[in-house]
Amino acid sequence: MTKNEMTVKRIFINNQRIEISGSGYEPKGEIRINQTLSTQHVTQLLHAGIFASNAKVNPPDEEHLDWYCLGDPTEGALITLAKKYNIDTEYLYTQHKQYHQF
């Protein structure tokens, strides 16, 4: 049975593979980056994923037993990945206003 959740398990940057552990929307997991890869490139990729997303990932509450996504599950997976990398997505949203969506 599926839960309509998506999880990023690996990403590719500059011909290098990055493995990501964890599952679901809980921002818990390890991101294993090759020493030769610039963390700036990883951050730029994750920022692009954040700004291309309208989803919100929220912690458990009285209606949800686990972390959950409001919006598109794929976008929720990108937000979760950024949170695993310790990017403060809410802060970024306050610093960069969305003017238009295509």
pLDDT at 7 (0 to 100): 94
Q: For the segment 11-64, what is each residue's pLDDT rounded down to a tens digit?
A: 999 889 999 999 999 999 999 988 888 889 999 999 999 999 999 999 999 999
Asked whether the beta carbons of 49 and 57 are under 8 A apart, the reply is no
pLDDT at 51 (0 to 100): 92
pLDDT at 36 (0 to 100): 81
Contacts of 13 (CB under 8 A, 6+ apart): 37, 41, 42, 45
Domain ranges of the chain: 10-95
CA 32 vs CA 3, 19, 22, 41, 100: distances in Å: 26, 5, 12, 14, 35
pLDDT at 72 (0 to 100): 95
pLDDT at 79 (0 to 100): 97
**Does the pLDDT value for residue 1 go beyond 60?**
no
Q: Tell me the H-state helices in 8-88.
A: 39-51, 73-84
Q: Which of 14, 18, 23 is nearest to 77 (CA)?
A: 23
Q: Which of 73, 76, 29 is nearest to 57 (CA)?
A: 76
